[in-house]
Chain A
Amino acid sequence: DAGVIQSPRHEVTEMGQEVTLRCKPISGHNSLFWYRQTMMRGLELLIYFNNNVPIDDSGMPEDRFSAKMPNASFSTLKIQPSEPRDSAVYFCASSRGQRRSPLHFGNGTRLTVT
């Protein structure tokens, strides 16, 4: 059973450029989460989806960030325009609908904005 797949693993871009991070959840999981990890703020939830519908996007920093889940097997997190303070590791995670079900994380995308 393949785990959560994220791409790219590393991304280096210049300030002002558009960045798109991609995620394929585990088949059969109906919840998908985007987290950001920084030294200063730790692991922060940006947004999560249930059955492809965004449920809570209160963690999205500002309008420069957007996330979509067009189907059960794919999600994107887009930053436009990117800024140096967006540099972080971005994790995608998925889980089954039950509360006792843990989140399964992808390997993360390390984003560096110069």
Chain B
Amino acid sequence: AQTVTQSQPEMSVQEAETVTLSCTYDTSESDYYLFWYKQPPSRQMILVIRQEAYKQQNATENRFSVNFQKAAKSFSLKISDSQLGDAAMYFCAYRRGEGAQKLVFGQGTRLTINP
């Protein structure tokens, strides 16, 4: 079974600085999709960014980018120019390319932004 590991339960960063959240996953498959979701105190789950495993180019969405290392099974999220509104729980998730469609989530990283 696929597993997703986020080794940092909590992280903090100064406003306007850059922070990287780590995620590793375990799979024997070559075709899959990876996602980062944000959960603010409102508890809404919000998609931040996604990456297709077959793409070598790292995905970017404005201030959010990923470092996808397929061989190392690593999928870290970089947040540049951190803003107070970025404070939230961040979840890394894995989805198979075939078969079961479910998302498998990591345990999450709580990000605090210090003003």
Contact-residue bracket for chain A? 20 to 34
B43/A89 in contact, CB under 8 A? yes
Whether A107 touches B43, Cβ cut-off 8 Å, given contacts A50-B101, A56-B100, is: yes
A107/B96 in contact, CB under 8 A? no
Does B45 reach chain A (CB closer than 8 Å)? yes
- Which of A45, A50, A99 sits near B33, CB closer than 8 Å? A99
Q: Determine the distance from Cα of A103 to Cα of B102 in the docked complex, in whole angstroms.
A: 9
Interface-side segment among B19-27, B62-70, B75-83, B103-111: B103-111
Contact-residue bracket for chain B? 20 to 34
- Which of A95, A99, A103 sits near B97, CB closer than 8 Å? A99
Q: Determine the distance from Cα of A93 to Cα of B47 in the docked complex, in whole angstroms.
A: 12
Q: Which residues of B pack against A, CB within 8 Å?
A: 33, 35, 37, 42-45, 47, 50, 52, 91, 95-98, 100-108
* Additional pairs, 15, CB under 8 Å, beyond known A55-B101, A93-B45, A103-B45: A33-B103, A42-B107, A43-B91, A45-B104, A48-B102, A91-B45, A99-B96, A99-B98, A102-B47, A105-B37, A105-B45, A107-B43, A108-B43, A108-B44, A110-B43
